[in-house]
Amino acid sequence: MQAASEAVSRVRQFATRLFGLRGHAVVHNTLWLSLVQFSGYLLPMVTLPYLSRVLSVEKFGSIAYAQSFVWNFTVLTEYGFNITATREVAVNRGKPAELSRIFSSVLAAKGILMLAGLAILLGIVRIVPRFRPDLQMFLASFVSVIGYWLFPTWLFQGLELMKHVAVRDFLSKAASLILLFGLVHGDRDYIWAAGAPAAGLALAGLVGLIAVPFLTPVRPKWPRWTDVWDKLKTGWPPFLTNAASSLSYSTNVVLLGSLGYAAQIGLFNASFRICSLPRGFIAPLATSLYSHLSHRGRSEEETIAFVRRNAKLLSLPFLAMSLAMMIVGPFIIPWVLGRKYGTAIPAFEVLAFGVFVLALSHVYSTYYMLPCGYDKAWARIILISLALNMLLLWALLPLMPASVALAVTLTAIDLTATIGYWRFFRRRSRELLPAVSN
């Protein structure tokens, strides 16, 4: 135990010196989130091979299809609070009364949005005959939206208490694992396969909500409608961007599923889920640094200097990771998923490169544009990149398998946005710090 404690202490000291931070909050939070990411990787490494073998490719694709459809309602419920509420909590963290007001109004706003999403889901299923047979699968997947509503990730993120986010994630994944192995044994259990992860999130969300008064200075109270409306107005611009981004991906999957590409969606989703493991290494650092940079009130010049100093450090390791994945992809896919997923290798290799693109995009967006308040410029860049979505996808479908077309489209959108972020950063940094070259 003493050796492990000393090792963690050395890692903290090294990272603190590396990033030029005065305290250990970012390092502490990053380590916690990295721990939960690592524990989260163990779940897919067990469940993904299991599900790919007990379920047919078509049923696996159908679950991905339903989850992609329901994800739109998660985005609706999360709204833009992951940006606006997190930043507001970070600024007011020393004011318990203000934190309580923010918490109560945001939770109420998210509840209204969640119920609106459920009503929309039921309406769509009733109107579209193609969706009616899958109502149970849609509702099972929708339980995850309840989990996202209940758990105030934005509160813990703004207070830099990532330990509790880590505990939430671990609890949800553990519950999902138990349910999957206990209830899913073949195609006849595909509803449970869709509902088990959602149930885990809902359980963790309920536990997290109950724990808020014990872990934070927040004391929930009945919100005023004017406060709820104010939070909805403030979160509207980032919500539009998040919604457009989500719709571009989920709409692609839903449309292709309705056209009979369920097996291809299964190949893409399996590849994406494996690639989500290294992508997950980016999230802890992005979450911690965004909260830290938003709270400290640095000048824009200081933030620019931070990005310049650490851009390579924050992106090049992921380039190495992407290249390694592309090399070992032909061996990983058959080993993890089984030989029937051999045709997923091209999509996997494209998505592997996207890991580096995602890391680089955070350098100029999450670590600079958003902490400095350039929400509208950030949203504009994303919307421009998303304009390529349907055009590129439908142009690629006649030329390659649908799974590869989806992977190329997703990566191209991220790359276009990353170029936009970098150009914005370069222009602003030259204006503010002209004496230092980029």
Q: pLDDT of 187-235, one tens digit each?
A: 888 888 888 888 888 888 888 888 888 888 899 889 999 999 998 888 7
pLDDT tens, position by position, 358-416: 889 988 988 888 888 887 888 888 888 877 877 888 888 888 888 888 889 888 988 99
Spatial contact of 271 and 403, defined as CB atoms under 8 Å apart:
yes
User: Exposure string (b/e) for 351-360, b if CB count within 10 Å is 16 or more?
Assistant: bbbbbbbbbb
pLDDT range class, residue 22, cuts 50, 70, 90: very low
Average pLDDT, stretch 258-262? 66
Q: What are the residue ranges spanned by the domains of the chain?
A: 55-235, 261-438
Residue 146, pLDDT > 90, answer yes
Selection from 326, 323, 350 nearest residue 404 by Cα = 350
Residues 368 and 431: their CA atoms lie apart, in Å, by: 15
Checking if the pLDDT of 239 tops 80, the result is no
Lowest mean pLDDT among 66-70, 109-113, 428-432: 66-70
pLDDT recorded at residue 248? 64
What length does the chain have?
A: 438
Residue 198, CA distances (Å) to 173, 188, 340 in order: 10, 18, 27
Q: Residue 188, Cβ neighbours under 10 Å: how many?
A: 10
Task: Quote the pLDDT of residue 244.
Answer: 63
Each residue of 105-132: pLDDT tens digit?
999 999 999 999 999 999 988 888 878 8
Put residue 221 in one of left, alpha, beta given phi > 0 → left and psi -120 to 50 → alpha: beta
* Cα 382 off chain centre by: 16
Nearest to 229 by CA among 323, 326, 109, 110: 109
**Residue 344 near residue 265 (C-beta atoms within 8 A):** no
Comparison of pLDDT for 109 and 37, the residue scoring more: 109
Query: Beta-carbon neighbour count of residue 191 at 10 Å?
Result: 18
Question: Is 345 a residue whose pLDDT tops 90?
Answer: no
pTM: 0.64
Percent of the chain's residues with pLDDT above 70: 78
Distances (CA, A) of 327 to 30, 320, 354, 357: 28, 11, 14, 17
Q: How far apart are the first and last CA of the chain?
A: 45
> Residue 265's pLDDT is what?
75
Report the mean per-residue pLDDT for the chain. 79
- What pLDDT is stored for residue 106 in this prediction? 94
Question: What pLDDT score does 23 carry?
Answer: 45
* Residue whose pair of structure tokens reads 């009945």 in the numeric block: 222
Cα 420 from Cα 105, distance rounded (Å): 34
- Encoding tokens for residue 179? 């349910």
Distance CA 311, CA 285 (A): 13
